[in-house]
Structure 1
Amino acid sequence: MKKITLCALLSLFAFSNYAAAGPVTSGFNNLGTVAVCDDCYTPEVTLGFNANYFGNTFDTTYVSNNGYVTFGSGQGTYTPTGLTANYFGAPIIAPFFSDVDTRAAAGGTVTYGNGTYAGQNAFGVTWNQVGYYQARDDKLNTFQLILVDRNATGAGNFDIYFNYDQVQWETGEADLGVNGLGGISASVGFANGSGAAGTYNQLAGSLVNGALLDGGIHSLAAGTNNGVTGQYLFQVRNGVITAVPEPETYAMLVAGLGLVGAMSRRRQRSKAAV
């Protein structure tokens, strides 16, 4: 297997511009539930708003059982293709691209629907306590994708939230995983399917064994890029994805602001003492 090079985030925004929101939330289930299955996807479903994604505007999407949504056509691919220049397929947004299997007795389901989030109209998909192939439920993941209407800031603008409560497995048995671990691990990110520069972004830890799991070096449930544990926020403006800093950068910025604040307080105390 070829080595995948992680691409950098397209742009860096100040985290202070973003309102905090919670992790996985309920309420996005009014449109339906994905059939209990392996490798299936829904018919075309409505977003409730227009979304300009890499220059193409969509008002519908397809929800895949395997941890992502696509635009223009449905997709049931289960092997987590790296979301880099090597990805060719339907435009995709993937909070956890891997081999989800909801057929296990103790496993959960995938629901989707419209609602509100961060004070705006939104479309959400929740993978709630889902297992992995082949119908395994000894480890379960709970994660969510929410697309938020920001057309008030410009036609087709929207925000993307990845929310994570629990990530216990990373690989299905068909991708060389053993008990949900190892093999070809999950990938997380975005791509428009053309492979062209600037049309994809893959988060750190994708395809790396153990990295995205609870306790991993890039744990999705423990990390953040906007200060809310388990949440990652990305803006799409004029079709281009931008983001607040990645987790390590965010932590450094917070530490830096704390240092600046401490220095400011010292100056104020020193001035008062004069």
Structure 2
Amino acid sequence: MKECQQELYTCESEFYPFGYSQNDYSTTDTFHLSENVTFYDERKSNFRVTTTGLLQFDDKFRILSPQLFPIRRYKYIAPYWANADTSRCGQLFYRQTNDPDLLDRAASEIRAAFPVHEDFEITNLFIVTWDEVGYIGSQNDKTNTFQCIIATNKGLESFVIFLYAHGKIQWTTANRDGGVDGLGGNEAVAGINAGDGVNHFTIPGSSTPDIINIDETSNVGTPGVWMLQIGKRYFVAVTSDNDKNNIVFEYHAGSDFTLTCMVTPTPPSDSEFRWSCSTGCVVDGKIGQTINITELRLTDSGDVNCSVFVDGFEYTSKPIELRVIDRCQPELCTCESEFYPFGYFENDDRLLRPAGFSSDISPSIDLSENFTFFDERISRIYVSDNGIIHFELDHSLVNRRVFSINSDKFIAPFWIDIDIRGNGQVFYRQTSDPDLLDRATNEIRKAFPMYSSNITHLFIATWDAVGYYSMHYDKLNTFQCVLAGDGYESFVIFLYAFGRIQWTTGDMFGGINGFGGDEAIAGINAGDGVNNFTIAGSSTPDIIYIDETSNVGIPGVWMFQVGKRNDKMDCKNLVKRCTGKCKRQYKQVRRSCKKILNRGSVCSGSCTAAVKKFLKDEVGNLIWHCGNPKGILRKIRNAYDKKC
């Protein structure tokens, strides 16, 4: 048995007086206090004292075995949470008191531990003592003795004091929690838990064998004594420079105003401020007493609060509601409603959710019309869930971030480790819908005034509400890539929905909670070492703002011209090599093609008539003899349409 020396440890004789001689209660019923206790943001007057080393604010809920904090919904003060048994030995005692001597003692001890509270006065104490309590399954071989005091000044500020008698903490675990002879298994926990998932404190050693030495530890310099503030000295509220209402703020897309974390009284100048969101915003944990509304990256209406950290304690405001009105305004940003139509109702194909794999690639997609990609005619593409379109079946490319500008060919609206196993879809289709072709043509002509032709083919790929590796869906990204071409000139359009780019990195590339590490890349690479473009912010934290950037003056829209073929028709390779009866006719077609279609002059009426005759007579004869090899009629008609 450890011997207690008052100058070194906390002895049981130094406990606040307890027991039958003090008229203490000894049942486990709910107890009503004469004065409220401030427990973080709430005022509490009812406690339920349990033999398990807990003070419980709500007797509707009870967790049988000790757990590390934080725990949501449950509000606990836990001097030593373990499954004690008083049926064989020990006793539970508690009472409230306003004895002047005890009030003065507690006030003096708290002032000494917290100098900032030098004027603190106590008006009420609640004293709970677990005296030589055993554990469930014990034979009185080991017992624990400890005490909890709650001190308050009319409910304005509150503190708890935990006292552990030296040598009197002898067991950590009941048999029902896996203990053997009072040790091992699911061991005791000590601390406080506000039940909000944010405010909590756990004494070091909790849930480990070291908790048995709690009588030799302290946060105030006296072994066996722990003191914690559970009621606010600092009151925190959120205000704005454009609205005096500190409960609801209305936010319009494009709005620009500042939120301020107001603290009363004024905290020390070196205090840290932090902003957090329960729902509705992307960037959590921003630092600073003020924050611009745009920094929260609002995606929807939700709650926001701020915290200030003083002397190791966190004081948090009540949540304020940011009500998003017209979250996305087309004149200010790109809204998801402005995407090219996609999804099930458009009969899109989609990537399957890969079972047990982090990425997926579509089957080869044969384009109905070739897509000019710089100097190459592309007829087949692949779509990856990792935010990339490429032209060869290369599984390694989508799962790596190092690529060669001299060989790797790709179009990457947002290349990163996307995970669609639990949420989100990747849709794709090709279309020649006249309305969509007209839309693409008009948008491209506006961005590229030198383009005067008409788009004849679109390929649309959409990454809709996709999460990040590995199976994280607290933040989601939505973006679209459109390949537009007329058989000769081709363009790429990237669309990013405002507020819907919420993460930059998955776990695979070193991200934590969707940020940091090797962040997303957006751009195009021809694989020739010359033609490539990377959108500003790629591979940096700034890529999160890609929905607010543009190269065509519309936030969230990027357009690129990626191919322009020579207007001359490749007459030599129009058809397969002809033999037999059609060989002579083929040569005549090729000569006529060169003469009429590649003359280089602006088409006139005589040119048009000559071409029509060419199509009707010479090509018609070739098809009659050779069976339209390689779709010659369509190719020549396309060439004619381009030329004339």
TM-score (norm 1): 0.68
Match of 1:233 in 2: 559
Which of 476, 479, 485 is equivalent to 1:143? 479
| CA–CA distance in structure 1, aligned partners of residues 563 and 362 of structure 2 | 27
Q: Secondary structure at the match of 1:211?
A: helix
Q: What is the deviation of 1:23?
A: 4.4
Aligned pair 1:112/2:428, yes or no?
A: yes
Q: Secondary structure at the match of 2:546?
A: coil
Match of 2:492 in 1: 160
Number of residue pairs the alignment of both structures matches: 204
AA aligned to 2:559 is L
Which of 410, 432, 435 is equivalent to 1:92? 410
Q: Render the CA deviation track for 1:192-218: whole Å, top value 9, x for unaligned.
A: 334x2x23221111101x2011xxxxx
AA aligned to 2:430 is N
Q: What is the deviation of 1:88?
A: 5.9
Are the equivalent residues in 1 in contact too, given 2:459–2:482 (CA < 8 A)? yes
Are the equivalent residues in 2 in contact too, given 1:81–1:87 (CA < 8 A)? no
AA aligned to 1:80 is R
CA 129–239 in structure 1, closer or farther in 2 if over 3 Å, else same: farther
Q: What is the deviation of 1:228?
A: 2.3
Q: Render the CA deviation track for 1:63-118: whole Å, top value 9, x for unaligned.
A: 01100100133435234336xxx4465410000000000012xx210010012341
| CA–CA distance in structure 2, aligned partners of residues 228 and 48 of structure 1 | 30
Are the equivalent residues in 2 in contact too, given 1:63–1:74 (CA < 8 A)? no
Alignment root-mean-square deviation, CA: 2.4
Aligned identity (percent) is 29
| CA–CA distance in structure 2, aligned partners of residues 31 and 60 of structure 1 | 17
- 1:33-48 correspondence to structure 2 within 5 Å: 33-37=350-354, 38-48=358-368
Match of 2:637 in 1: none
Are the equivalent residues in 1 in contact too, given 2:349–2:429 (CA < 8 A)? yes
Are the equivalent residues in 2 in contact too, given 1:42–1:74 (CA < 8 A)? no
Match of 2:467 in 1: 131
Relative CO higher for 1 or 2, CA cutoff 8 Å, sep ≥ 6? 1
Q: Secondary structure at the match of 1:43?
A: coil
Match of 1:206 in 2: 538
TM-score (norm 2): 0.30
Gaps of 5+ in 1: 1-19, 214-218, 241-274
Match of 1:103 in 2: 421
Match of 2:383 in 1: 63
Q: What is the deviation of 1:236?
A: 2.2
| CA–CA distance in structure 2, aligned partners of residues 23 and 202 of structure 1 | 24
| CA–CA distance in structure 2, aligned partners of residues 171 and 158 of structure 1 | 30
Match of 2:341 in 1: 26
AA aligned to 1:178 is I
Match of 1:173 in 2: 507
Are the equivalent residues in 1 in contact too, given 2:537–2:546 (CA < 8 A)? no
4+ residue segments displaced more than 6 Å: none
Aligned pair 1:81/2:402, yes or no?
A: yes
Which of 527, 547, 560 is equivalent to 1:193? 527
CA 101–199 in structure 1, closer or farther in 2 if over 3 Å, else same: same
AA aligned to 2:426 is V
Which has the larger Rg? 2
Q: Secondary structure at the match of 2:482?
A: strand
Q: What is the deviation of 1:130?
A: 0.2
**Structure 1 stretch displaced more, 33-42 or 160-169:** 33-42
Are the equivalent residues in 2 in contact too, given 1:43–1:74 (CA < 8 A)? no
**Structure 1 stretch displaced more, 219-228 or 142-151:** 219-228
Gaps of 5+ in 2: 1-333, 442-454, 567-644
